[in-house]
Amino acid sequence: MTRVAVIGGGRIGEALLAGLLESGRASKDLVVVEPVPARAELLAQRFGVRVTDVVADAAVGADLIVIAVKPQDVDGVVTELAKAELGEQENEAVIVSLAAGVPTIRFEAKLPAGFPVVRVMSNTPMLVGQGMSAIAPGRYARKEQLALVTEALEAVGKVVTVSEAQMDAVTAVSGSGPAYFFLVVEAMIDGAVGLGLTRDVATQLVVQTMLGSAALLEESSQSAVELRAAVTSPAGTTAAGLRELERGAVRSAFHEALNAAKRRSVELGASAD
């Protein structure tokens, strides 16, 4: 079994931990680094895994070292990992970074020469096992190591492989995407309440419509364009609603939002170097 060390016991670290256990990983093959005593005790009791506050202690002997901390905490973690002398252990560990905007070269520069690093951009639906993760290999990550990372992340959703140059675009689309989705849901619920529905009924209508539509899109052989057209009868209610959305330049707004998010991702990545 692959041994996994999760550095960071926050929501994302906990979600990955829960997914790995649910997928069949043994608790003895998992260790978590969490410096806050109350949080550490909660994780140990909830999942039955070993929890430590020492990065090097968790990392030694691990096959995958998942860094699930805030970007500003990455340097401290990497400094501690360097002390662990990971390059001298029998098994070759792989660093898996979930820290947004931090390039692989930043890890590679401080770790032993040739150390494999894989950068990941995931999103919050991983908290319910429905995440979308994009992985990008660093200079020294091999194909079989990418497969190990993919297998681990599939415990909390789906995984695609991209080049690191595409990570800013991924951040704009799927990383920030849940917030765009929630804004649309929020607007539809508010609009439904304005039509006289109770907020509870409006919420049920909108949420199930979103869930059902996503399932239909995933399972159908038709594209989003074709499915939209199938719902839109000429001169019908859907056509009337879509006309107003087009008048409000909703497509342009989404294009601008994605471009703005990508630009900001580039800026944050540059400041992290």
Domain stop point among 139, 162, 185 = 162
Same structural domain, 87 and 193: no
Nearest to 124 by CA among 94, 90, 142, 98: 98
Nearest to 2 by CA among 35, 39, 33, 29: 29
Same structural domain, 153 and 191: no
- What local confidence, expressed as pLDDT, does residue 87 receive? 64
**CATH classification at residue 255:** 1.10.3730.10
* Planar angle of CA 66, 112, 151, nearest 5 degrees: 30
Write out the two tokens for 84. 């662990």
Question: Residue 150 pLDDT > 80, yes or no?
Answer: yes
State the chain's maximal CA–CA distance in angstroms: 70
pLDDT digits (tens, 9 = 90+) for 60-77: 889 999 999 998 899 999
- The residue segments making up the domain with residue 249 are 177-269
User: How far is it, in rounded angstroms, from Cα 65 to Cα 81?
Assistant: 10
pLDDT band for 267, please (50, 70, 90 cuts). Answer: confident
pLDDT digits (tens, 9 = 90+) for 33-68: 999 999 999 999 999 999 999 999 999 889 999 999
pLDDT digits (tens, 9 = 90+) for 191-226: 999 999 999 999 999 999 999 999 999 999 999 999
Phi, psi for 255 (deg, rounded to 5): -60, -45
Same structural domain, 25 and 123: yes
Q: Is residue 168 part of a domain?
A: no
Angle between helix 11-22 and 143-153 (nearest 10): 90
Question: Residue 88 pLDDT > 90, yes or no?
Answer: no
> What is the DSSP annotation of 72-121?
GGHHHHHHHHHHTTGGGSSS--EEEE--TT--HHHHHTTSSTT--EEEEE
Q: Is residue 135 part of a domain?
A: yes
